[in-house]
Structures are given as C-alpha cells and as structure tokens.
Structure 1
Amino acid sequence: MTPIYISICFKVIFYCFKKRPLRKFLELAKSVTGWILFIILAVIWGSSFILMKLGMQALSAYQVAAIRILSAAIVLVPFGVKAFKNVAKEKRVFVILSGLLGSFFPAFLYCLAETRIDSSLAAILNSLTPLFTIIIGVTFFKLTAGVKKIIGVIIGFTGLVLLPFATHQGISFNDLSYASLVLLATICYACNVNMVSRYLQQTASLHVAALSFSFLLIPAFIILAATGYFQLPLLQPTYLHATLASALLGVMGTAVATILFYMLVKKEGPLFASLVTYGIPIIAVIWGLLYGETITLAEIGCLIIILAGVYMVNKK
C-alpha cells in the first residue's frame, strides 16, 4: 500500500504545481518579505519621535540631533570611500545638499519642535511630507499633477488646518511656532526628494547616503563639542540612557532604516514603499500613549483626514 500512497502524493504535488506554479509561491514569499520590511520600517521610523523625547530628558535638542547624525555617519562612513569614487564630480554638490536637506536640518528641527510639542503630534505633522513633495515639485521642478493629486493636497491641508483646534491644550501660538518647525522639516524632505529625483536619479542610493553622511560627520562632532556634551558626566545613568536613545535614533532610525528602505523600493517598487507614510504616525501615536501623552479623538480624526489626502496624492 505504501507505494500507492507515495504515487498519489507525487501526483497531488505535481497537480498543485501545475495549477499553481513555483513562480507563484516565490512571488508570495517575495510579498511576505516586502511586508516584513514595511512593518520594520514603520516601527523604526514611528519610534524615532519618542526616542527624541527620551534623549532630551537629559540632553539638549542640539545634542540629541548631533548624536543622531554622528552615529548614523559612523555606520555609513565605511561605504563613503567607495561612494566618493563612484559619484560623478559634478553630482557631489547635490549629494552634500541632499544630506543637509534630507537629514541634517530636519534632525535639529524635529528635536527643537519636540521641546514644546508631543511626539505624536510631530508624527502627525510629519505625514504631510508627500503633500509638500507634490506642491514643491509642481512649483519649482515642473512636475505635472492631476486633479486627484490636487484634491489630495487640499484634503491633507484641511486636516492640517483643523489640527491645532483638536489638541487637548487648545490653540497656543507659542506651541504653533514650534509645530511650524516640523512643517519646515517636511518641506526640507520634500525639496530633497524632488532634487534627488531630478539630479541624482542615476546615482546609487547607498552612495548618496554614505557620501552625504561622511560630509556631515565633522559638523555633528563640532556641534557636540560646542554645546559642552563631552564635559557632561556621561557615565551617570541619566546621561547614558539619553545618549543611547539618541545613538539608537541615528543607527536604526537613519542609517539602518535608509538601507532597509532602499531594499523595499527594489523589491516592491516605489509605490508600495511610499505607503510606509501611513504606518509611521500610527506607531508614533501608540508610543505617545504608552509614555503618557494625551491624544484626543479629534487629533486622530485629523490624522485620518491627512492620510486620506496622502492616499489621493499617492494613488495612480
């Protein structure tokens, strides 16, 4: 009887692969890998906002941002020599500018903003990045936008306008000025995306990241020294924990996340990769709740409105 059962099993396997080829199975595995990368990126980037808060429990905003840039640079510098050789001379200026707009300035703007606003609110405002990308692309880079994208921008900005009225403490013009720092950071991101798409399209993404952070290493070190970081009692638990949180922010939230994002783009394409925008504020809001931040239902409603606008912008 055993040979008969073996024969039946082989026939069943052959039938399954005939109807569902091995290629289908591999595509499913690839999709699973894409979703794993998606979830990891959402968790890493969504956790970045609370890591800034933890770092600033003992360190200044400038010190946390500088440690973030410095730690990411240390991870990426080994790739910098090869990147320098492979990036065309006329492209290096754009690579350096990409590092400033895409990492350096936003790192400081976010930390300064979170000295007065909640990390969850910063994450909600961060979700406006795709909308500013479209606006700046249309205004300065001759990008064409259809009616749906324009509607998406309008919807997203409706959520932004309503957001100050939704916070638990009400409207404070002082806090609004700090919230505007996050908006300025998203504008930096948007400028960087458009510039990279226009001038660095043929340059490997890892080369752009490695070379730009190699340039940022020295300025970050100077800022740390100028703010008196190295004179602090760094071995005390409070300062040590804050330093570790800031370093983790740089290594995972900047260096590792950048590499994972490039992997996701190559595996699943830019459209799927861009959907990470939806996961980031959700993770950040969860962290905010766990650390005792007050988040109103109205804020969640504004987040949904903003993400609806982002969906319209990203939709083909």
Structure 2
Amino acid sequence: MPSISTQETTLSTQKRPLLAWVLLFILALVWGSSFILIKRSLVAFETDQVAAGRIFFAFLFFSPFLGVQARNTDIRMSVRSRWLALLGAGMFGYLIPAFLFAEAGAHLNSSLAGALNALSPLFTLLIGVVFFGRVLRIWQSLGILLGLAGSVLLIFYSATGTFSVNGYALLVVLATLCYGININIIGRFLSHMPALVSTAWIFAFVGPIAFVILVFTDFFSKLMLPTASVSLATLICLGVLGSGVMSVIFNRIVQLASPLFAASVTYLMPGVALLWGVLDGERIYPVQFMGLGICLLGIWLINKS
C-alpha cells in the first residue's frame, strides 16, 4: 500500500471533489458542537460515564450494520487481517480522547476546548513524519512552530484571562495527539475499507470496553431519572451523531481527499465551538482569540505546503 506521503502528493495535484468539501463543513458543524454537548451531558453524568456512554451509544448505532457485515466473507477476512489497526483506531481515535475531553470539559469552557482541538492537523503531520514516512517541508516546519506558539497562549491563560498553567487544557492537547495517531492509522491501514465498514468495526472493538466501564458505575440507574433526560439526550446525540455518523463521514473524507485534508476540519470547528460558548454565556478573552489565530495560521501553512 502506498505511504501517506505518496498518497497526498498524488492528491495534491488533483482537484478535491466537491463532496469532500461539503462533508467537511457538515463535520465541522457537528463536531464543533460536541464540546457544548459534553458540557450539557456532564450536568447529570460523571466524566467517565459521559466518555464511555458516547462510545457505547455509537456501538449500539452500528450494531445492526455489524450483524449484516459479519455475514460477508470478504469483510470478515478484511477485519481479521486489520484487527490491530481497527483496535488502535478505536483506542486513539475514540475511547481515549472521549475520556480526556470529558475530564477537560468538566473544568474548561467548551469554547477553549474547541479552540485547542485545532492542533489535530499539527499532530497529524508530526506523527506522519516520525512514524509513517511523510516528508516535512520548510513551510510546514514554520507552521508547526506557529501552532505550538498559539497553543502555549491557549494553555497558559486561564478562564479568567490571566497567565497561569491550565493543566486541563493539556488533556485536550493530549487528545489531539491521539487524533493525529488515529488519522494516520486510518490513512495508512484502513483507507481501502468502505467507510461504513471500517467505522463500524472500530466501534465493535471499543464498544464492549465502554460497556464494561459503564457496568461498574451507576450509569444505567441514572437513565431512569427524570432530571437526567436532557443530559441523556445530549449524550445520545454525542454518541450516535458525533461519534457514529460523523465518524463514517470523516473516514469517507480521508478516502476522497487525504488524512491531512480531513484533519483540516479543525479550521472550522473552533468557530462553531466559540459561537456556542458565546451563546452559553462563556467569556472569551482577546489573548485566547490571539492564540487561536496563531494556531490556525500555523495549520494553514502546514496544509498549504
């Protein structure tokens, strides 16, 4: 299979299909809203319940598809030969980031979490260079430095707009590192599989893990509480729409364009997250806008090269 760098060199000479751009904007709208949905889910559920719950509901969504696909001999053989990549994509792309974002969401403004998520393309490139043979160009090097500088502003300024170490922001950065690993795994090992197949089997590996985690909490008893109805609705939306349907769309964008182009959804997500934050009464300080702007400039340079 060609390396990611070879694939992207070929794709860079082609016009990206209109469908890829349309799907990218839909993805940005939904995923940019996920941070406010996490915030609403945390009203009634604990952080580990929100994290595992969204993965479990996504798994339930894909269960009927898994039942049909499991009867297909070609799909079974493909899954058997790629099981490690599917498990890795599930862990780094969904399960681990879900816990990191849930914990961060309990302590950070949703708008700040959305802004930090813009680092995903930076880590996509770095992981590609270190482990997948991508070639790093000079403009991309400058973009990395700018992205890191912008993230420093976002990480070291607290919700009050004063300079301080914001440890919970580092959890979001770690989640974007996981996303970078996941995108490269999909681009290198899973891009040959239909998006619905690869995504469904990714959740087939991590969904049962999430269920076991939920069993050891009071999650299922909370489902019956009237006070948890709104949080349950937002959690189901996070799982089915955010982690389920949008994951299929994301994997399809990787196939239509490239892993780095798909990661560029984070160009648009911070704007959606910031808008939700403002509507929710969150205060956003000029230094945070500055940090986001520097990050986006760096990511633009990374994609431009």
> Does residue 230 in structure 1 map to residue 220 in structure 2?
yes
The one-character-per-residue Cα deviations of 1:97-134 (angstroms, maximum 9, x if unpaired) are 21111111101110011111111111111110111111
Q: In structure 2, what residue type is equivalent to 1:108?
A: F
Shift of 1:77: 2.0
How many residue pairs match? The answer is 283
Indicate the residue corresponding to 1:210 in structure 2.
200
- In structure 1, runs of 5+ residues without a counterpart are 1-29
Q: In structure 2, what residue type is equivalent to 1:72?
A: A
How do residues 1-316 of structure 1 correspond to structure 2 at under 5 angstroms?
31=18, 35-81=21-67, 82=69, 84-169=75-160, 170-173=162-165, 176-232=166-222, 234-236=224-226, 238-264=227-253, 273-316=262-305
Is the 1:86–1:207 Cα contact (8 Å) retained in structure 2?
A: no
Shift of 1:268: 6.3
Shift of 1:41: 1.5
- For 1:38 and 1:147, the matched residues in 2 are separated by 27
- For 1:136 and 1:270, the matched residues in 2 are separated by 12
Is the 1:53–1:114 Cα contact (8 Å) retained in structure 2?
A: yes
Shift of 1:265: 5.0
Q: Compute the TM-score of the two structures, normalised by the length of structure 1.
A: 0.82
- For 1:241 and 1:88, the matched residues in 2 are separated by 37
Q: In structure 2, what residue type is equivalent to 1:107?
A: A
The one-character-per-residue Cα deviations of 1:61-120 (angstroms, maximum 9, x if unpaired) are 111111110111111122224165152523112111211111111011100111111111
- For 1:201 and 1:224, the matched residues in 2 are separated by 31
- For 1:313 and 1:299, the matched residues in 2 are separated by 21
Is the 2:85–2:189 Cα contact (8 Å) retained in structure 1?
A: yes
- In structure 2, runs of 5+ residues without a counterpart are 1-16
- Alignment CA distance shift 1:229-1:274 (3 Å): closer
- Alignment CA distance shift 1:265-1:195 (3 Å): closer
Indicate the residue corresponding to 1:3 in structure 2.
none
Indicate the residue corresponding to 2:11 in structure 1.
none
Q: Compute the TM-score of the two structures, normalised by the length of structure 2.
A: 0.85
* Structure (1 or 2) with the larger CA radius of gyration: 1
- Alignment CA distance shift 1:132-1:273 (3 Å): closer
Shift of 1:204: 3.0
